[in-house]
Structure 1
Amino acid sequence: MSWAWFHRLASPPRFYALAGRLVPWLGAAAGLLLAVGTVWGLVFAPPDYQQGDSVRILYIHVPAAMLAQSCYVLLAVAGVISLVWKIKLADIALHCAAPIGASMTALALITGAIWGKPTWGAWWVWDARLTSMLILLFLYAGVIALGQAISNRDSAAKACAILAIVGVVNVPIIKYSVVWWSTLHQGATFTLTAKPAMPAEMWLPLALTVPGFYLFFGCVLLMRMRTELLRREGRSQWAQTALRMALDSRRTQ
């Protein structure tokens, strides 16, 4: 029964319709959480007793870094589904998620550099956490480049899936690098399983921006997947019907 439900969800017309219903709700929830969390964290949260106001960048840096790693795990899972069960929707998810993950990785690296300059006295150091995050950005770039360089869609899907699966080994390295090696990067101060190491007025904004980033990711991913579905399935009857409905909706607005 569960597998039948899974294959029904993977049907392009069903997924397109479901994603269309979810996008507005995800977008509204993400906008609310990000607006409240970022304003609270960047303006009203107290400064850190050691890092001062530079700690405020963590309200953007931490969610971006978490999402960058989670997104690559999604790529690997989609790669497995694409290779084993030959579900085309998995390849579409991988193709559409990779640029978002690359953007989040770049944002994490940039905000980390902004935080590192006043904290460490340098924009960049060859720290284990930073280096493994840079490798993650290269992996994302590799997946994107493979998808664009190989003209045959099936061959491109297979190559991207293999790279995503192989590259996922870097994610636990990122997570545990501060434990395995001597590193400048501080350990986690906010986890789901332990009491936060910071006062509530500092971690509560982070508790809003983290799910806000994930909901934003879900919203953008579904929007990109809907567009890619129409591009690939443009000759099918359901896609042409969906396009006509979208054009009619725009004309009536």
Structure 2
Amino acid sequence: MSDEVLVTDADGILEVTINRPEQRNAMTKAAAEAIAEAMDRLDAEPALRCAILTGAGGTFCAGMDLKGFLKGELPVAGERGFGGLTSWTPKKPVIAAVDGHALAGGLELAIACDLVVANVNARFGIPEVKRGLVAGGGGVVHLPRLLPRQLAMELALTGDPITAQRAYDLGLVNRVTDGPAIAAARELAATIAANGPLAVAASKGIVRDSWLWPADEINTLQAPYIAHVFVSEDAREGARAFAEKRKPNWQGR
């Protein structure tokens, strides 16, 4: 694991911190590979229920390390894309905790996560056109699906950022906080981690994959995601815990 990314865990939550604060956490290939490795760990360890991705030093990620780019380096991890996360997703949820700037690849990394929590002073944008580049890590593809088309077009063509509050009002951000984003992200992660892990993973998979499912095939396509959940030990435990007015003891099976 590269020292450009710090990984800790507590109470079922994996925290992954981009650790290049002097470079505003600009992404390198080593950091991208370390994030991908951390996400593999998230899926591999049953005790881990959720992950938080954040940045050290008061900023999330300012995008690609341009010095590395000039040397021919791309901050991707194989087929997993920018930051090791923009072209795939782990089975378990990932929350972006955004302080400061989430710009260029940083914004693409944030929206590649399943949920976004931001400090009120955070800014989101894809300024690639200001450098003669294109937001090719998912920005120009996914933003028109997440925002009104005209606003996505404005972000792509002007390169100007929007505030965290504006992003929240448009549904790009789940929660805005006056304090550090990591604190609010931990609260959200704890809520998720308290739920049935099989049900959480299935729900995430359906929400992500059903984007273009034909309406008349939804039930058929959804079935493989949920069939094992309804016959699981966790499903029975959830019902028993409700009847007995206690917290469930999830087994993940």
- Normalised by the length of structure 1, the TM-score is 0.29
* Bigger CA radius of gyration: 1
More helix by share: 1
| Structure possessing the higher relative contact order (Cα contacts under 8 Å, 6 or more residues apart) | 1
